[in-house]
Amino acid sequence: MRGEMWNTHYRLQSTVLSPRMSQKYKPVQDLESKHLVQALLRKPDDFSRQFHRYSASLAFSLAYGKRLVTAHEKELQAIDAIMRNFTEAGAVGRWWVDIFPILDILPRYFAEWKRISTKFHKYESELHITNLNAAWEQKGWNWAKLYKDSPFSQGMPDLEVGYDRTCPCLLYW
């Protein structure tokens, strides 16, 4: 069962990551590159934020059909929050349960990692569903629409589709 599920998710992600499909992304990459150069010419000392905006906007444009133009959009702030949460949750030695796995039997009240991970998952899940629903309403093509129409996603919960849509974007962040 697990192998079948993994293969289904792999096939779904492969639809947007194939060499043939990646050739179709050149116009988006070109547009974002031009925006980056223009922003760097205007404010050369702001290069870190502009490269961050560039990579996030490229991924967001492909995934959801929406560009991130200013580097101050709430979507970019949400992505940054998810990355901070991931870093916090995955820090080596952060949780005693990483060293002593037997602690995982503790009830949620005594297990801070369970409460925090639930909070992080809720935030991330709501964001994925919100972005997915918005992408389906966007004009034009995006990965979310391709995933929705894919035979590989039929019967798959929207949240799983949302997480699958995110995985290729991690290549850009």
Instruction: Enter the DSSP assignment of 140.
Output: S
Which of these, 122, 138, 127, 139, lies nearest to 169 by C-alpha position?
127
**pLDDT tens-place string over residues 123-171:** 999 999 999 999 999 898 899 898 888 888 888 888 888 887 665 554 4
**pLDDT tens-place string over residues 45-88:** 988 999 999 999 999 999 999 999 998 999 999 989 999 999 99
Contact present, 55 and 67 (Cβ < 8 Å):
no
Q: What is the pTM of this model?
A: 0.82
Number of domains forming the structure of the chain: 1
pLDDT at 166: 65
Which of these, 39, 84, 75, 38, lies nearest to 57 by C-alpha position?
75
Give the list of residues 6+ apart from residue 121 with CB closer than 8 angstroms, or none.
none
**pLDDT tens-place string over residues 113-129:** 999 999 999 999 999 99
User: For residue 96, what are the domain limits?
Assistant: 2-169
Contact present, 13 and 167 (Cβ < 8 Å):
yes
